[in-house]
Amino acid sequence: MTIRVLLADDQALMRATFRTLIDSCEDMEVVGEACDGKEVVDLAHIHRPDVVLMDIRMPGTDGLTATAAIGKAPELSTTRVLVLTTYETEEYVARALHAGACGYLGKDATVDELFTAIRTVASGEPLLSSGATRSLITHFLTIRTSRDSPVPSGRLAHLTAREREVMALAAEGMSNDEIASACSISPLTVRTHIQRAMAKLEVRDRAQLVAVAYRSGLVQPPPPAR
């Protein structure tokens, strides 16, 4: 199956670069390009892409607003948004996930990481870069709301030892490949453990899994920087 990708970036050179890279893959094709948020939403309705490669800062309607609009459209329920940006701050990561983004990747990613991210998001799996995960950790440790109350540690009792181990490493910002290397298991097995942990803890995505890991005490926050 060919993954149909819609590009959204206000820089023509960036769009041209991404188009060249993506079109070089046998299992991907670019179906359209947008230079602002309004245009990407309009084109998403026309082309019904599998993945929207979304920049955040664009003139007019920004990428986060566009992501939310795509997520709310019933006819675009199978379209996944992969945010690709230079801004991996806790505010942007949290807002992107809240808007409905399925993945978050920094523009310093390698070509192989970009391709992997597109394939992962297209399959319906969430993806966060290590930088985005670390930013998300900072967000959950510094921004407290009524929903961020402590999670009883006993809630983790239903997890296996391996599931807790993988969950803890994910909460520390490690990618699936890095966790696989650390635990001497395959990335597919890592994904399985994470999915099972999410199901047992009744969380929607990896971001919520990270939050539970910290609020339950499974992982301790790093000491404050001096």
H helical segments located in 123-160: 130-142
Q: What tens-digit pLDDT sequence spans the chain (226 residues)?
A: 899 999 999 999 999 999 999 999 999 999 999 999 999 999 999 999 999 999 998 989 999 999 999 989 999 989 999 998 887 666 777 788 778 888 888 888 889 989 988 998 888 777 776 566 555 655 555 554 444 455 555 778 889 999 999 999 988 777 788 899 999 999 889 989 998 998 999 887 776 787 788 778 888 765 544 4
% helix / strand / coil in the chain, to the nearest 5? 55, 15, 30
Separation in Å, CA 202 to CA 67, 125, 148, 160: 24, 16, 15, 15
Whether the full predicted model's pTM is greater than 0.75, yes or no, is no
Give me the phi and psi of 59, to 5 degrees please: -65, 155
